Every structure is written in C-alpha cells, then in structure tokens.
A and B are shown apart, each in its own frame.
Chain A
Amino acid sequence: MHQPSEIWIGLERYLKARFRERKALSVTSLEKLAGGISYLTCSFEIKWQEGRRQVSECLVLRMLPEVGHVPPYDIRPQYEAMKRVQGTGIPVPKMQWLEMDESVLGRPFFVMEKIEGESLMNAYRRDPGIRVQLQKEYVDCLKRIHELDWKALGLSVLGVPQNDLQYAENDLGRWEGLIRKNDYSPQPVLSEALVWLKRNIPKAGRTTLCHGDYYAHNVFCRDGHIVAIFDWELVGIGDPMNDIAWTPMFMEIYPGFWNEAGFVKAYEEASGMKLDDESYFFWKLLGYYRYAAFALASFKDGLEGEEFDPVKPAAQSSMMAVALDRIARMLKF
C-alpha cells in the first residue's frame, strides 16, 4: 500500500474505528509531500461533525517505506524523540499517535500535527533580511538539542553507546554497509576514505541527543522564525560533533544561508565550548562519506524505484561527484 488513494482508504477506515465518537468522520486532501528518499510523508485533513459544527484538523502521516534504500528502518526512534522533546523549547510538531500494527496501512506509521511554513532555504532566499535572525535561531536550536537532559527525558530508549567510540563506529559501519550494498558503481575514493576513517575514530567528547540530519532543508520557518525541525529518522544518543560537522557541509553545497566558519564560530560562542579540530575533521569526512552513500542509494532508487524519476540519477551523480572530490581534497589527493 503506497499510493495516496490506497492510503486514504485505509486511513479513513482506521480513523473511523479509532475515533468512534466523531460523527461523519472523513479524510480529505491527502497529498504526498515531496522530498527524501526514505520515509513516505503525506498531509491530510480529517473532518467530523460536532453538533452542527464541522471540525477539521490538518495532520501529517509519516510511514515506513515499502522498499527503503537507507536501512535499517525503525519508525519508533523518531516518534519517541519528537514526542519527548516536546515542551523543552525544541520546535517540533506535536505527535498525535504511533501505529505499529501493519494490518492498518501495510506498514507502521505515525501521525503528527501539520506545521504551516516553508523550509529555511526558501525562507531566507525569499527574504534575505531575515537571514541573520535565522542563523541565530538555527545554531540556538542545535545547541539546545545537544544540551537536553536526555536521560531525564527517557531518551535512553534510543540506545546509549557503551563507550566513547561506539557511536562513531556504529555510524561508520552503517554507511559502509550501505555503500557495500550498492556496489553497482565501485568508488575507490570511498575505499580510501573508509581506510582513513577506520584508523582515526575519535573519542566522543560529550554524549548528547543528536538529531542526525540537521541542516537547512529539515528546518521549517514561518514569519521569519524557526517553527519546526523535521526528519528525526537518524536521531540517536552520541557525539554531537556528528550534527555540528554535518550541517556546514550543506552550507557549502547549497551556499547563501551561511558558511562553515561562521556557523562553527557561532556554535562555539553559543555553547561556550571550543570544538576539537581532529574530531571535527573526522565527522566532516564521515559526513561526505555518508553523503556519497546516500547518492549511491538514491541513484538506484531513481532507476529502480516505484516511480521512475529520470531527474534523480542525474542529480545524484552531481552529489556523488561533489562528495568524492571533497573527500579527496580533505585527504589531500
């Protein structure tokens, strides 16, 4: 079940059973939202009668993919993380419920409130005057994520590294596995990167909540302010340097919002901490390695996916060329 019409039928049936007290319940305006190569995200409207009044609510459904190219897939961590950080000052959509029963829509899913707004990338391009304010909020949000008392919030459910190397080792292992799985296009540059990365795993200076994919496309804005952080599917407990080194990479690939030096300086000032250069280098290189892994998986998705997308392979070839070149330059060849 992956076409909007199939989801709509199953969802309406499910909601009618879940909310029996809501009269004349219907699901309308179900629309697949663009973006991402993994989870399926749809917005929809739920309507029902309360007396003579019709009530409606706009929601978003996020579902495990039928065939994903960036495994492993478990919908629970992102749901638990967003639910537990609610009310802590981290802007996230309000989680409604998680449904693990696959008989409902074919795969586990959760529903959250719909946030109106636009991505940070679009917001500052449309109104360059808000860029400085957005930069401040952008780094502030990330700093807050890293300063959360994750133990008190029960976020140990995400899994806690057993030592100060494990988080980095696991992350590297994940992307290595993805590259090996998509070996239709062997990349010796990635082999060079892997050799270096395995030999230079840094100890985590801190263990914090990490978003895992924090960059401008996953941040939503409205009226010049950040109102939501999305895409928590790579959330975990580990070295925050993962997030800190990941986001500037996109500032280079999609220039205009900020630059690496400015962001790093701002994070250091906001957090009161000096970032370790060696650790930063490792995570930045791993970031490009991961980016290349995504490109390989995404390329295959564009060719073999449910809906053939001829633009995707071309775009992902560009991603790959840039990632490989950056890796080579970081390793000085």
Chain B
Amino acid sequence: MAILMENSMMKLMLEREAVFMEREVVSGLSDPVLIQKARMSGRLMRLMAEWVEQRHQAMQENEAMKQALIKIVDVLQDEKSLSRNRVRNALVRACSAKLKKTAGADPGIENRDLRAALCEGIEGLDALEGLLPEDAASLLKSEIHSALRLQLDHGLASIQRPPA
C-alpha cells in the first residue's frame, strides 16, 4: 500500500516539476539552447510520470490477479471430489508455480506472467466446467472478472489520456 501511495506522489511531483520547467524556467531564459534543454527536461519528466503511472497500474493489477489466482488454487484444493482430477491438479500446480515465480519480479514482467497464468486459469476452469459446484465456479468467475475489469479500465484510461 505504501509503495502504491509513493508511486502516486512521485507521479504528481514529476508532473508538477514538468509544468514548472516548461512555464517558469523557460520563461526566465533567453538562450535558445538552454530553452530547448529546459523544454526537453520538462518532456522527460512527463514521460517519467507516465512510466510511474504505468508501473503503479501494473502493481495494482498484479495484486488483483494474484488474489484471483490464489482463490483459484484455494477453491480447487478445497474441492476434495476433484483430488484425482488431472486437469484440476495441473491447474493448481501451474497457478502455484506462477505465483511463486513472480514474487519479487519487476512489476511489468510480473504483470505479463500473471496475465499468462490467468489465461491458463480461465481455460483450465473451462475444462472443469460442470465438475465444480456452481457457487464455487461463480465465485472464481467474479474474482477473475474483477481483476480483468481493473486492467480494462486502465487500458481505456491510457488511450483517453493526452500523450506526454
């Protein structure tokens, strides 16, 4: 949580510094080379702010995907009637392995790997259709969709945002 707040503040600070550079600093300069350098610095800060925002979003998405994957593992492991089912066992192993692998990774890489794990999870659960109790299947769907909705909202927000 602290890291997420830190990212938000960092983005805000970078954007404010970019505005300061582009307006206050540039207006006080007369040398064209320095003006260009100041503008470039402002632009770089905006790009860094975007990067921080994307990293922040990746971390939020990663948390949501991990929750969904943990839920998949928990529900499947609790379902004793499926203890000998190959698809269920393979899915539990795959999700657990991915959760372990991504721990501590760069948020961007973790995001990609977790999305791949979620793809496997969705297709694996489909193969178990009818074998899981309805309420369990419904709960997992809800967790997965919640994680996906966050990604979708981030995706839409990024295309509506003006470029740096």
Contact = CB atoms under 8 A, between A and B. Distances in A.
Contacts of B118: 186, 188, 191
Interface class of chain A by DSSP: helix
Nearest to B147: A188
Contact of B115 (A186, A195, A322, A328): A186
Contacts, number: 60
Interface string A321-333: 1101100100001
Interface string B111-135: 0100110110111001000000000
Interface string A294-333: 0000000000000000000000011011101100100001
B90 to A, nearest CB: 16
Sorting the interface of chain B by its residue count into under 10, 10 to 19, 20 to 34 or 35 or more gives: 20 to 34
Interface of B: 112, 115-116, 118-119, 121-123, 126, 144-145, 147-149, 151-152, 155-156, 158-159
B152 A191 contact: no
A321 B157 CA distance: 9
A192 B155 contact: no
B149 A188 contact: no
Nearest to B68: A188
A190 B126 CA distance: 13
A266 interface: no
Interface in A187-207: 187-192, 194-195
Nearest to B65: A188
A185 interface: yes
Residue in A187, A189, A325, A328 with the greatest tally of chain B CB atoms within 10 Å? A189
B159 A321 contact: yes
Contacts of A191: 118-119, 122-123
Given A183-B116, A188-B115, A322-B159, 8 more contacts: A186-B119, A189-B148, A321-B152, A321-B156, A324-B155, A325-B155, A328-B149, A333-B145
